[in-house]
Amino acid sequence: MKQIILTGDRPTGRLHVGHYVGSLKERVQLQNSGGYQEIYIMIADAQALTDNAEHPEKVRQNIMQVALDYLACGIDPEKSTIFIQSMIPQLTELTFYYMNLVTVSRVQRNPTVKAEIKMRNFEASIPVGFFCYPISQAADITAFKATTVPAGEDQEPMLEQCREIVRKFNEVYGETLVEPKIVLPSNQACQRLPGIDGKAKMSKSLGNCIYLSDEPEEIKKKVMSMFTDPTHLRKEDPGHTEGNPVFIYLRAFSKPEHFTEFLPEYAGLEELEEHYRRGGLGDVKVKKFLNNVMQAELGPIRERRNMWEQRLPEVYEILREGTKKAEAVAAETLQDVRRAMKIDYFDSGNLMKLS
């Protein structure tokens, strides 16, 4: 069977290092592994509008920003198709048919939806469109017959919902759609990178992100101000590394060669963590090391981003071409779906049979 990837991001802001370790890095690896025949990377503007209906200009402005972040991370337009969700009307149509296969209570039980409703204070009045976004996400995935969705762990409930829709569709209308599986980052620390303030999630609204486009000085300032272990008051005190954002970031970003280059007195991360727990290792020293690591990892990404920023007309063409290609694929699936549902009236003789 063809191996096909679909994944994407809402264009509500520039992408940050949480997106990078949580999914972007994995995508680039999968892209370059050669194991996938087709790769679709979607800028999910229609989904972004489900909770930004009053801010279409914010969504529009971030389309280019997200495209630049993709290219900066190494998404290669020769190997991956980057496209804009709302430019593919077939996705909306699929969503509408799938809505009949899902109950309101099922969506209400979706833990990601639950958490987001709470976060946005939607409890009293949830926009219907927002409520249905897991169904639209199933349309995104199935329109491309995707087998694989590289994403963060918060997307697992979406994938589960999608698989249920696929099973139900195939059961009712006959084998048509493909069940996808999620690919999570293998490194535990990458699955949920906390904000620099120690809050569970990096989020633009909390102002606790390090962006892929941040300048070196900004990165340094953010790293040096990071929340660490509040019980580690003096250097001599024993410290905690579990749940300590600085160490979580080190687990997500540091490589053995960073120790050789920036901190040769330690054999590796384990030894550094051990010293911190024992006491005698100051936060400033660890943060300085983390800053070196982040600069080494993000420098090449920022350079590539700057390069693409000088070539915006090319980026525009990449999006236009990608969207055209993606639409053709989605149109084919929609045709399969209509045929399976027997609503392909003018393509078959069915309409003229009176009973």
Q: Which residues bind ligand TRP (CB under 6 A)?
A: 6-10, 44, 47, 137, 140-141, 149, 151, 155
CA–CA separation, 50 and 53 (whole Å): 6
CA–CA separation, 276 and 150 (whole Å): 34
Is the Cβ of residue 6 or residue 132 nearer to ligand TRP in the bound state?
Answer: 6
Is the Cβ of residue 13 or residue 245 nearer to ligand TRP in the bound state?
Answer: 13
The least distance separating ligand TRP from the CB of residue 341, rounded to whole angstroms, comes to 22
Q: Which is it for the CA torsion 40, 42, 46, 51, positive or negative?
A: positive
The least distance separating ligand TRP from the CB of residue 24, rounded to whole angstroms, comes to 11
Residue 21's nearest CA partner among 252, 352, 314 is 252
The least distance separating ligand TRP from the CB of residue 55, rounded to whole angstroms, comes to 16
CA–CA separation, 305 and 65 (whole Å): 10
The least distance separating ligand TRP from the CB of residue 34, rounded to whole angstroms, comes to 22
CA–CA separation, 153 and 314 (whole Å): 33
Q: Six-digit token pair at 283?
A: 């936060």
Is the Cβ of residue 44 or residue 272 nearer to ligand TRP in the bound state?
Answer: 44
Q: Which residues, 6+ apart, have CB-to-CB distance to 309 below 8 Å? A: 68
Q: Which is it for the CA torsion 188, 191, 193, 199, positive or negative?
A: negative
Q: Six-digit token pair at 204?
A: 């633009």
CA–CA separation, 9 and 48 (whole Å): 9
The least distance separating ligand TRP from the CB of residue 4, rounded to whole angstroms, comes to 12
Is the Cβ of residue 147 or residue 228 nearer to ligand TRP in the bound state?
Answer: 147
Is the Cβ of residue 112 or residue 213 nearer to ligand TRP in the bound state?
Answer: 112
Is the Cβ of residue 8 or residue 77 nearer to ligand TRP in the bound state?
Answer: 8
For ligand TRP, the nearest residue by Cβ is 44
Report in angstroms the alpha-carbon separations of 86 from 14, 127, 140, 221, 235.
19, 18, 11, 37, 53
The least distance separating ligand TRP from the CB of residue 136, rounded to whole angstroms, comes to 7
Q: Which residues, 6+ apart, have CB-to-CB distance to 42 below 8 Å? A: 6, 7, 8, 9, 82, 83, 84, 85, 140, 326
Phi/psi at 29 (5° precision): -65, -45
Is the Cβ of residue 7 or residue 161 nearer to ligand TRP in the bound state?
Answer: 7
The least distance separating ligand TRP from the CB of residue 130, rounded to whole angstroms, comes to 12
